[in-house]
Amino acid sequence: MNIQKLLEKIEEKVENLTTLEIKTLMGNLEITDKGKVYIPNGNKIKGISSSIDLVGGDITTYISDDFVKNYPQLVDWHQSREAKGNEIVENNIHTVVNMVKALRDNIINDEK
């Protein structure tokens, strides 16, 4: 793979880095081969789902009615995952930016 194609691939993936989703769910659900949560029709799920807009900074959290009252430890755990997830994404973005800069510098030097 040449450097230009690698840059294009990184650019495609960076578009998916703008939203961080964190889910803490309980109930009859399945995980697909690609790691996505599948909830069969009619099944009741309890839990928390958070979506963090990394560009705008907005955080949206949905919590089922009785989850906070019945599972406070899982609420705390979910909140710790939000903090850790945000830290990981920030580090990943920093790494990708450095990779792109290094690749672009390499392209510029190759063109000289």
Two tokens at 96?
């990708």
What percent of the chain stands above pLDDT 70? 93
Nearest Cα residue to 26 out of 73, 58, 60? 73
DSSP H or E run through 108:
helix 72-111
Which domain range does residue 39 map to?
3-111
What gap in Å lies between CA 86 and CA 18, rounded to an integer? 11
What pLDDT digit, counting tens, does each position of 33-61 carry?
887 888 888 788 889 999 888 777 788 99
Q: How far is CA 75 from CA 26, 48, 53, in A?
A: 12, 8, 20
What gap in Å lies between CA 48 and CA 84, rounded to an integer? 16
Is the pTM higher than 0.95? no
Number of domains in the chain: 1
